[in-house]
Amino acid sequence: MDSPAVPAPLDPQEQPILDRLLRTRDALLLIKQDKSSYIKSRDVLPLYEEVVSEVEKLNAVRKGKDRRLPHNRLDYVLDDCFQLISLLFLTVGRNNEAPAVYSLATTVQRLLDHLEEAGFYSSKDLSSITKTLAHVHETIDRCRNVYSPALLTLLESRLEKCRLLLDKLQSDLAQLSPELVSTHETLVSILRSTSAVNTRSKFSASEVNGLRDQLKKIQDSLKDGNFVGADGQPLPGQDNVKGLLERCWLWTEIVLQREGKIDERFQDQYERLVDIRNQLDRLSVTQAWSLRETDLFGYQRKLDRIDEARVNGNFVDAEGQLADIHAQRTLLYLIRRSYGYIYALLISSEPVSEALLPVYNQLQTLKRCLLEVKESGGVANSRELYPYSMKLNSIDNMRVDGKFYVGNDIPEGQGSVNALLAECYDIVWELRAAVQDDDDRHA
């Protein structure tokens, strides 16, 4: 569970805090692993209070000390606790509360660090992260009088790091001429597509050659070695794009030579990362029906440990020898892709308890079907709406005094489910009204 070679706390006052947090982490892991019943807020809140209490004690112990000291085991266990609490808040449907955004903030920081390290990204990558950080900021502001300042300070510190890094990445992109943006995005896409082909179970040389054909077209568009505008003048910010073009040529060439075979010294790490990537890919397809947000913790931790085991950014073998460029880029691509999947799964988490998700997902499917019927011209007569109305009525009849109960509990997310139910009723009403108007006209 813990990161490689993490030192124990140096200050003896920190040891009892670590011991208590280890017990709390064990309790959080037990809740996460128990699939026999759904998770409830009352299971999570006391453990959240325990962690915050320990953070306040830790802040008192470390007051006035150098904050830049390397992380020790206590810091890693504390991060585990907040990650688990965050994912548990999402699982119970409390997405819009401060503890819930911790996991998202740490994932965004990982993504930004990797984008900076890779040196290539598109405006689309940054626009999604910009929106997410704005949402996290709003959540923290809204919860300022509800949650502990210890948690809010921790979140704001992480948010500030993300904001500074995002500003830097955006300013680098801003130097591109608007006329070069689409070429730049194409090159970013080619680099990523090449890496995707390189990590498939069956390597396709023809696919890589197809990407090289796209590079040839971009290369042929150069005039005297420059990207030029409509006025024939060299475009500003093109050094970045030319460098990216060279990287694409080199990477496609290396990938064609290696044919998807990685240096055997790094085969184990490669297989572990491919397995994580593939599992997250499957989860992203079936997410609405099979994702329990706490399941992401295991993937996060496996990725973090592989990522943090690098030496000065490099992967090293058992003898401490550096990976070659192919192994290095392949492993980094898999790590980044996996963090990208985790980010996408976190931002698409619905503010509904897992206990209500089956009903919520049925209503989502029903709404999609009704919208498709509406967009394809509606129904020929009211009878065609019977199956939809019957399904809606059966879900509506599950409510008691307007609430969905599970046993004696009223799970979180009632507002979201009721709003979706009302939307479905509205669409059925519109479809029925349209048929009646037609009947009146023809009467």
Quote the pLDDT of residue 141.
Answer: 96
Structure confidence at residue 36 (pLDDT): 86
Question: Tokens standing for 13?
Answer: 């006052």
Residue type, 229: G
pLDDT in tens, 296-336: 999 999 999 999 999 999 999 999 999 999 999 999 999 99
Tokens of 189: 């896409």
Q: Which amino acid does the sequence have at 353?
A: S
Q: What is the pLDDT of residue 287?
A: 78
The pLDDT confidence band at residue 4, using thresholds 50, 70 and 90, is: very low
Q: What's at 317, amino acid-wise?
A: D
Q: Are 113 and 162 in contact (CB under 8 A)?
A: no
pLDDT tens-digit map of 231-255 = 889 999 899 999 999 999 999 999 9
- pLDDT at position 442: 55
Residues in the chain, total: 443
CB atoms under 10 Å from CB of 378, counted, come to: 16
Of the pLDDT bands very low, low, confident and very high (cuts 50, 70, 90), residue 372 is very high
Show the 3-state SS of 72-132: CHHHHHHHHHHHHHHHHHHHCCCCCCHHHHHHHHHHHHHHHHHHHHHCCCCHHHHHHHHHH
Put residue 409 in one of left, alpha, beta given phi > 0 → left and psi -120 to 50 → alpha: beta
pLDDT (tens digit per residue) in 174-225: 999 999 999 999 999 999 999 999 999 999 999 999 999 999 999 999 999 9
The more confident residue out of 59 and 4 is 59
> Contacts from 372-380 at CB under 8 Å and sequence distance 24+?
373/431, 374/427, 374/430, 374/431, 378/431, 378/434, 378/435, 379/431, 379/435, 380/435
In 366-441, the DSSP E strands lie at: 399-400, 403-404
| Tens-place pLDDT, residues 81-104 | 999 999 999 999 999 999 999 999
pLDDT of residue 167: 97
Q: What is the mean pLDDT of residues 73-80?
A: 93
Q: Does position 1 have pLDDT exceeding 90, yes or no?
A: no
Q: Where are the domains of the chain?
A: 177-256, 353-440
| Residue 381 CA from chain centroid, whole number | 44
How many angstroms separate the Cα of 297 from the Cα of each of 96, 244, 300?
Answer: 19, 34, 5
- Rounded Cα gap, residues 363 and 426, in angstroms: 13
The answer to whether the CB of 185 falls within 8 A of the CB of 124 is: yes
pLDDT exceeds cutoff 70 at 383: yes
Measured CA to CA, the distance from residue 147 to residue 50 in angstroms comes to 13
Is pLDDT of 292 > 50? yes
Identify the band that residue 437 occupies on the pLDDT scale cut at 50, 70 and 90: low
Q: Which of 350-354, 391-395, 438-442 has the lowest mean pLDDT?
A: 438-442
